Structure 1
């Protein structure tokens, strides 16, 4: 799979989950 396509899929998934990529940090993962 092309890495760029994979990245787009991941971004879409995160957006679908209501997570802004720019807002991801250690605290975000700590809440999971």
Structure 2
């Protein structure tokens, strides 16, 4: 469970880095929740 949370955090940070606009980030957040 902890590993999953860490992967989620890494994915989140990676998305911000790759797409500063945040469009993909919002889509992924909606997908995760």
Give the TM-score taking structure 2 as reference length: 0.50
Give a deviation string over 1:4-29, Cα, whole Å, max 9, x none: 0000000000000016xxxxxxxxxx
Please list every run of at least 4 consecutive aligned residues from structure 1 whose deviation after the TM superposition is greater than 3 angstroms.
none
Higher normalized contact order (CA 8 Å, seq sep 6+, divided by chain length): 2
The alignment yields a C-alpha RMSD, in angstroms, of 2.1
* Structure 2 gap ranges (5+): 20-33
* Structure 1 gap ranges (5+): 20-32
Quick check: 1:13 aligned with 2:13? yes
Q: Greater helix share, 1 or 2?
A: 2
